Amino acid sequence: MNFDLMQAARELEKPAAAPAQQEPVDGPTMTALEKQIDGYRTKAAEIHNTWQLTRDSIKKDDNLSADGKTAQLDIAYSTHNQAITQLGHDENAAVLARKQAIEKRAFGNAPTDPSQLIAIRDAQDRAERIDNDRDALALLRRAEMNDDASLAQAVVIKALDSGWQTVADEYTKTRPDIAAAFTELSSINNYLQPNNQFIAGMHYNLSR
């Protein structure tokens, strides 16, 4: 067995470096998060390469029986797969943490008053029933006219999750200070779409 390759495998099993500190949400759109994701994916590419080298070395090792090769391959694959799977989890966690930070910046802390919580849940229920941007825009405008902050917020969150940019733009007309945060939220929500999640997952899929 090539001990240099196995040492490399053990190095790859070590936890990834702590995430870099995020830039303020009103800073350059997505820059810090994109760098963080690039770091995870670079580490994943290293694991892919090291696994291939380790696998080839085991297969060519004439000192191992067929059963011995199978056992060594299983151990090496498990080591590399655990490391690369963790990186995938780390990337997803970083994206969700960034989204949560921006939403807190844009909308503030959740209220604790029971009556306010009930109003928010009712507003969220109404917003969730919307299935197109035209109805969302109309409901947002009614909420703004009635000074219904809970409903306006619920509608724009639904719009951001659904990619209805015209609704988000309407909301930020009177709130220009959070326009940059909304731009980043739109980018993150696009990243979280199923087709993009599938593409992202390919970086962390280790073939036998």
pLDDT tens digits for 168-199? 999 999 999 999 899 889 889 888 988 889 99
The residue ranking higher by pLDDT, 45 or 113, is: 45
Using an 8 Å Cβ cutoff, are 130 and 136 in contact?
yes
Using an 8 Å Cβ cutoff, are 139 and 155 in contact?
yes
Residue that has been written with the tokens 């960034």 in this structure: 98
Q: How far is residue 35 CA from its own chain's centroid?
A: 13
Residue that has been written with the tokens 């959070």 in this structure: 178
The residue ranking higher by pLDDT, 86 or 19, is: 86
Residue that has been written with the tokens 């997803």 in this structure: 92
What mean pLDDT comes out for the span 121-146?
Answer: 96
pTM: 0.74
Please state, as a whole number, how many other Cβ atoms lie within 10 Å of the Cβ of residue 154: 25
Whole-number Å distance between alpha carbons of 36 and 97: 12
Whole-number Å distance between alpha carbons of 56 and 170: 57
Q: Note the pLDDT tens digit of each residue in 84-100.
A: 999 999 999 999 999 99
How many angstroms separate the Cα of 133 from the Cα of each of 122, 136, 162, 185, 205? 20, 5, 9, 17, 36
Using an 8 Å Cβ cutoff, are 116 and 86 in contact?
no
Please state, as a whole number, how many other Cβ atoms lie within 10 Å of the Cβ of residue 128: 12
Helix (H) or strand (E) holding 98: helix 66-107
Q: How far is residue 106 CA from its own chain's centroid?
A: 19
